[in-house]
Structure 1
Amino acid sequence: MFRYIVKRILSLIPVVFIISLVLFGMFKLMPGDPVLMMMPTTLKTETQRQQMYDVYAKRLGLDKSIPEQYVAWVVNTTKGDFGYSSTYNRPVADVLKEPLKNSIALNVFSLFFSFMISIPVGIKSAVKRHSFFDSFWQVFSLVGLSIPTFFIGLGLIFFIAIKLRLLPAGGMPFMLDKSSATYLLAWGRYLILPVATLTIGDLAGTIRYVRNAMLDIIGRDYIRTARSKGLGEKVVIYSHAFRNALIPVTTLVSGSLVALFGGAAITETIFAWNGIGNVLIQALNSRDYMVVLTMNMFYAILSLIANLIMDIGYALVDPRVKLD
């Protein structure tokens, strides 16, 4: 297992290099000048503007040739220096530090609740096929897949935050002492609606996926053989059927991880949640190239890591898979 993981990580290095090269080239071809967006508008003479332009260009590393800029960007990235934000006028690492923590919390809670609900519901729907329980969740899945996530978020804001006034409509608590219990409780209240939005949006597809995986396994010959031996229904379902149904579900877990991080941008914007998705949208609108470039590399590496986790998960749940 250890040799396989090391081998896969080493094989990702050329992939990351190609992705970084393509992304860097694409951003260099994009229109606009980030230096001009940083310069103050109070400069009157052309000489002052040129001098200030040179200062900001040097700060962003744009005074070098494109190959030199790429090499400097790669070297600095490996050291944790992701460049300088033209919008926030501070290092990109500082810009993304707090939003990254908030996005991880939002997506981890959403993924946790999504699978804690969808797996037992999907199993029961498959076992009780064509029952009222199954029909209800089938309708829920169809409706959930048809409704955009932002509409779910707006609906929760309208009914829970505005009509019932149970939770805040959006934003984040602002307190100096972020380690206090009061802050954590307030932070949790602001987190509930965004988590509920992503969880509901993910539930529809996940329940349907788990149900179909279970139905496929329940119809196999070895399940009928297990029942004919007199094994209890719970043993058949959870020890035989669900264990084999985990194989396709493993793919869903890794895919949901990437999809949640990517799809959370709209949810974070709706709820004014200070996450990396919200920062990315603001960076796109203001043409903050270094923030956008860093975020795209983050999503690319996250996808590669998710695929690696998926392959390892396959080997753990399916002994037929050999790690060569």
Structure 2
Amino acid sequence: MTALRGATRLALLLAAVAVGSFALVVNSPVDPVAAYVGADVAALGPAQRALIAQRWGLDDPAPERFLAWLGNLVRGDFGFSATFNRPVLEVIGDKFLASLALMALAWLLSGVLGFALGLVAGARQGRLSDRAITWWCYTLASAPAFWVGLLLLYAFAVSLNWAPVCCAVPIGVPAAEVTPLDRLHHLVLPALTLSVVGIAPVVLHTRRAVVETMAADHVTFARAQGERGLGLVVHRVARNAAAPALLLQFGSLGELFGGSVLAEQVFSYPGLGAATTAAALGQDVPLLLGIVLFTAVLVFAGNAVGDRLHAALDPRAALADGRGRS
């Protein structure tokens, strides 16, 4: 029953996302013919423009275009990307593999560092370290990812020359000669930029959970028996604080992908975020809808995993959820 409910929710989510995304794209002020042709659009005559529109089905009514795309999707055909001149599934697969290392590293950095700093801030509530971490998090939460990326790029790539300016691999080096160290060298700055998207909420939620747990009766009893410092936080507090942090971390995949669009543009990183921008600017409807659906499934799966882990770490959440559904 739970699996059926989850499948129904996913189907409804994908339907709403597909309809909403298609409506936004077809009502965009960008001329799809001009986006496809590029700088030579001024040389096009009415007949040539009409042929291009007919070739891509742009002269059909929007409902017919959507139903045609939906019919192909049901048969497993996601369409063809005019931007990359390849099938949509191939583009998504290649670009996602390029973005996977970036998003995974940023996700781990924001989760591990955010949880550790949240534990420190909550355990030392009201002290200088708590105020410094909290101020730092509020600053990060209000800073746009692209602005942070530009600052890091200027500081470490332009001024100090410690990191490359762009791309996922060294320019001009054959793919067979690119080492894992080269890829990691190009990955550090984009991953640091992207981790800013998720670190502040994890710190602040973890801090609040730690403060609440430190005031609980079992922690007071442990203190009365002589437990102090790191041992008290690790054995009595960390488990309760980990539940909301994990739920938030797995639920932030959508924000992580949104941040990757900006980060990949700043660092010219050829991943799924850059492909999304190219599809939107080029009115590449099949590719854009394919990326949107893929991202929706990814976010839904992340939320589902986060709910399961939250229930495993905090049984009270599972009981409350069960009562709410009954």
TM range (shorter): 0.7 to 0.9
What is aligned with 2:301?
305
Q: 1:90 to 1:140 in 2, by over 3 A?
A: same
Matching of residue 279 in structure 1 with residue 266 in structure 2: no
Q: What is the aligned length?
A: 317
8 Å Cα contact 1:34-1:289 kept in structure 2 = no
What is aligned with 1:74?
70
What is aligned with 2:106?
110
Deviation at 1:153, TM superposition (A): 1.1
SS at match of 2:207: helix
Deviation at 1:260, TM superposition (A): 0.8
CA distance in 2, matches of 1:42, 1:24: 27
CA distance in 2, matches of 1:44, 1:121: 59
8 Å Cα contact 2:122-2:208 kept in structure 1 = yes
* RMSD across aligned positions (CA): 3.0
What is aligned with 1:194?
190
CA distance in 2, matches of 1:266, 1:247: 29
8 Å Cα contact 2:30-2:281 kept in structure 1 = no
What is aligned with 1:14?
12
SS at match of 1:274: coil
Q: 1:263 to 1:46 in 2, by over 3 A?
A: closer
Deviates more, 1:278-287 or 1:36-45: 36-45
Matches within 5 A, 1:1-324: 4-5=2-3, 7-30=5-28, 34=32, 37-38=35-36, 50-51=50-51, 53-54=53-54, 56-57=55-56, 69-78=65-74, 80-173=76-169, 178=175, 182-231=178-227, 233-320=229-316, 321-322=318-319
8 Å Cα contact 1:110-1:196 kept in structure 2 = yes
Q: 1:38 to 1:269 in 2, by over 3 A?
A: closer
8 Å Cα contact 2:197-2:256 kept in structure 1 = no
Unaligned 5+ segments in structure 1 are none
8 Å Cα contact 1:36-1:53 kept in structure 2 = no
Q: 1:93 to 1:209 in 2, by over 3 A?
A: same
SS at match of 2:86: coil
CA distance in 1, matches of 2:66, 2:95: 26
Deviation at 1:215, TM superposition (A): 0.8
8 Å Cα contact 1:169-1:271 kept in structure 2 = yes
CA distance in 2, matches of 1:48, 1:227: 80
CA distance in 2, matches of 1:199, 1:291: 26
SS at match of 1:87: coil
Which amino acid is 1:211 matched to? Answer: R
Q: 1:120 to 1:261 in 2, by over 3 A?
A: same
8 Å Cα contact 1:80-1:93 kept in structure 2 = no
SS at match of 1:166: coil
Deviates more, 1:169-178 or 1:256-265: 169-178
8 Å Cα contact 1:87-1:283 kept in structure 2 = yes
CA distance in 2, matches of 1:52, 1:285: 17
CA distance in 2, matches of 1:31, 1:131: 53
Which amino acid is 2:6 matched to? Answer: R
SS at match of 1:202: helix
Q: 1:49 to 1:318 in 2, by over 3 A?
A: closer
Deviation at 1:285, TM superposition (A): 2.0
Unaligned 5+ segments in structure 2 are none
CA distance in 2, matches of 1:236, 1:219: 13
Scaled by the length of structure 2, the TM-score of the pair is 0.83
CA distance in 2, matches of 1:44, 1:117: 55
8 Å Cα contact 1:27-1:293 kept in structure 2 = no
CA distance in 1, matches of 2:267, 2:291: 20
Deviation at 1:292, TM superposition (A): 2.1
SS at match of 1:239: helix
Scaled by the length of structure 1, the TM-score of the pair is 0.83
Q: 1:202 to 1:43 in 2, by over 3 A?
A: closer
